[in-house]
Structure 1
Amino acid sequence: MTEKYLQLNDIDAYKKAFHLSNYVWDVVVNWNGIAQHTVGVQFIRAADSISANIAEGFGRYFKKDKIKFYRYSSGSVKESLDWNEKAKVRNLIEQEQYQYIFTALQQLPEAINRLIKYTDIKLAV
């Protein structure tokens, strides 16, 4: 019998963040030039950074390194919330798009915190 090792795509926080980043991309690519170059690029980078930091942390060996990157992803959640608000106030996104992104961003901190707790408990080093 072979033992199954945890894979990146098994992590709930990663899957949610990855899906969200692609949703944000799909929204922003339809904006006009000035909106894309100001709010859009920053919004995409912040949303992409959530799953990217989870992936980088997952690839680290030491528990402290892993958790550090998972915490960076939490910061990117907060940044993404800010860009989502700016996009709403500047009439760049529809209410439905805003609400979808907002709801996803509200769910991510709990998923990231579960990942941090799991990592802290399961890893010795």
Structure 2
Amino acid sequence: MSDLKDLQVYQLAYSFEEKVWELVKTWQYFEKSTIGKQLVRSADSISANISEGYGRYHYKENKNFLFYARGSLYETQNWLRKANDRGLIDEIIYKDLKEESIRIAKMLNAYIRSIGKRSSQ
């Protein structure tokens, strides 16, 4: 069994979350305490759910946690959009984070599909 850190979707999600953290750290108190906390929590939840699912013994449980990770990713996309609409994120940074989140979504979907195939064999 490989290490969680070797899983590409986990690596990308973790890196993405660190970028979100570094961005929110620069905001003023009000922005941090409203949108910022929600954004960081939802972003951090992506890799946390991938990790929890990875540690489960049954494919169904792993898959469920990957669905949670995907839900957290979509929530993060929503908070990023709000932050962009409210002038907290530069347009270029927003587009980069949005593109990265789409890559993570595609990787999560592929990972979810692969788990379904392995469990049916």
Q: TM-score, normalised by structure 1?
A: 0.91
CA contact (8 A) 1:74 1:112 kept: yes
Cα distance, 1:113 vs structure 2: 1.3
Determine the C-alpha separation between the residues in 1 that align with 2:114 and 2:105.
Answer: 14
Q: Which amino acid aligns with 1:70?
A: L
Q: Which amino acid aligns with 2:29?
A: G
Determine the C-alpha separation between the residues in 1 that align with 2:41 and 2:80.
Answer: 12
Q: Percent of counterpart pairs with the same letter?
A: 33
Q: Which residue is 1:28 aligned to?
A: 24
CA contact (8 A) 1:53 1:69 kept: yes
Q: Which residue is 1:13 aligned to?
A: 9
Find out whether 1:99 has 2:90 as its counterpart.
Answer: no
Task: Report the secondary structure of 1:118's partner residue.
Answer: helix
Q: Which amino acid aligns with 1:112?
A: L
Determine the C-alpha separation between the residues in 2 that align with 1:7 and 1:121.
Answer: 21
Moved over 4 A (4+): none
CA contact (8 A) 1:63 1:124 kept: no
Q: TM-score, normalised by structure 2?
A: 0.94
Q: Which amino acid aligns with 2:5?
A: N
Aligned alpha-carbon RMSD (Å): 1.4
Find out whether 1:63 has 2:70 as its counterpart.
Answer: no
Q: Which amino acid aligns with 1:106?
A: I
